[in-house]
Amino acid sequence: MNKMIEIYVNGEQQQVPTDYSVEQLQQQYATSQQVAIALNNQVLPRRFWAQRLLMAGDQVLMFNLVAGG
Interface residues with another protein (CB under 8 A)?
A: 9-10, 12, 29-30, 32-36, 38, 41, 43, 45-46, 61-69
d(CA 20, CA 54): 6
27 φ/ψ angles, rounded to the nearest 5 degrees: -70, -25
Closest to another protein by CB, 1 vs 22, is 22
d(CA 62, CA 69): 21
Closest to another protein by CB, 46 vs 57, is 46
Closest to another protein by CB, 3 vs 68, is 68
